[in-house]
C-alpha cells in the first residue's frame, strides 16, 4: 500500500470592498500558497461563513457595504466553529481595536500595512501561536 501525501493549503476567506486591494491581497495570498475566497461586502462574507465549506482563517475589512466586518464578527461570537478572524481598517482608533478584540478578533491591522507583515501574521495565526496582535499601518511620507 502506497502512502498518499495530500498537499493541503489553508483556505482564507477574505472580505474587502476596495476592488483593487481585494485583487492585490488575493494575488499575494495565492502566491504565498493559500487558497482564497474573496468577498466584496459584509453580507457576502456572512453568507460564506454560513456555508458548509470551512475556512481556516477570515481576514475582513471593518467598513464595508451591507454589513460591517465588526457586525459579522459579532454575529460569530458564540460560534465555536468560526475560524480565527483578522480585521483590517483604515480607521483604526483605539475603540475600534478594543471592540474587535472583545468580539474575538485575533489581530487588527491598520491600513496601509506591509504585505510581508500580513503574511507573517497569517502564518502565526494558522500555527495556533497567536495571541491578539495589533499591527500599525505603514507610514508613507
Helix/strand/coil (H/E/C) assignment for every residue in 31-64: HCCCEEEEECCHHHHHHHHHCCCCCCEEEEECCC
Question: Please, what are the domains in the chain?
Answer: 11-135 (3.40.50.2300)
Question: pTM of the entire structure?
Answer: 0.85
Phi and psi at 70, nearest 5°, equal -65, -40
Closest CA to 118 of 2, 24, 53, 9: 24
Instruction: Answer with the residue of higher pLDDT: 111 or 93.
Output: 111
Strand order in the sheet with 11-15: 35-39, 11-15, 57-61, 85-89, 107-110, 133-135
Residue 134: predicted pLDDT: 46
29-75: pLDDT as tens digits: 999 999 999 999 999 999 999 886 789 999 999 999 889 999 999 99
Amino acid at each position: 500500500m502506497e502512502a498518499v501525501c495530500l498537499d493541503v493549503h489553508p483556505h482564507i476567506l477574505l472580505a474587502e470592498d476596495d476592488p483593487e486591494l481585494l485583487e492585490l491581497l488575493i494575488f499575494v495570498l495565492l502566491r504565498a500558497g493559500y487558497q482564497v475566497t474573496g468577498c466584496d461586502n459584509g453580507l457576502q462574507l456572512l453568507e460564506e461563513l454560513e456555508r458548509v465549506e470551512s475556512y481556516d482563517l477570515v481576514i475582513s475589512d471593518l467598513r464595508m457595504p451591507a454589513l460591517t466586518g465588526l457586525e459579522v464578527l459579532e454575529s460569530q461570537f458564540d460560534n465555536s466553529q468560526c475560524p480565527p478572524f483578522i480585521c483590517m481598517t483604515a480607521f483604526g482608533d483605539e475603540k475600534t481595536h478594543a471592540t474587535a478584540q472583545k468580539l474575538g478578533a485575533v489581530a487588527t491591522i491598520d491600513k496601509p500595512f506591509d504585505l510581508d507583515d500580513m503574511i507573517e501574521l497569517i502564518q502565526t495565526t494558522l500555527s495556533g501561536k497567536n495571541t491578539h496582535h495589533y499591527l500599525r499601518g505603514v507610514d508613507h511620507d
